[in-house]
């Protein structure tokens, strides 16, 4: 009875459609369920690979943005230093 509780609907319908002499074959779909589990593992690894790739892309984008900001800050500092020198040395 416990085995009947663990069957999927499709397995139950197949079992009901088959004559009772073929009832021992009903345990075979359980082995096909087991075969499906390793198919999930590549999905997990591909998800991990996708997540790693996405993280790398985000890190690259963030570092490019930070680089642009730093370039603007450096440019601003250079201009500020030039203005200060002009004010200091060109005023009488």
- Residue, of 21 and 83, whose pLDDT is higher: 83
Is the pLDDT reported for residue 7 higher than 90? no
CA 56 to chain CA centroid, Å, is 11
Q: Is the pLDDT of residue 9 over 90?
A: no
pLDDT at 27 exceeding the cut of 60: no
Q: How confident is the model at residue 14 (pLDDT cuts 50, 70, 90)?
A: confident
Instruction: Please state whether the predicted TM-score (pTM) of the whole model is above 0.75.
Output: no
φ, ψ at 20 (rounded to 5°): -65, -25
């Amino acid at each position: 009875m416990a085995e009947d509780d663990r069957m999927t609907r499709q397995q139950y319908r197949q079992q009901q459609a088959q004559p009772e002499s073929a009832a021992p074959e009903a345990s075979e779909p359980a082995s096909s369920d087991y075969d499906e589990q390793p198919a999930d593992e590549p999905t997990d690894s591909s998800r991990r690979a996708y997540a790693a790739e996405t993280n790398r892309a985000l890190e690259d984008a963030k570092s490019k943005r930070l680089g642009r900001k730093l370039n603007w800050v450096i440019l601003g500092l250079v201009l500020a230093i030039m203005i200060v020198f002009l004010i200091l040395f060109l005023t009488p």
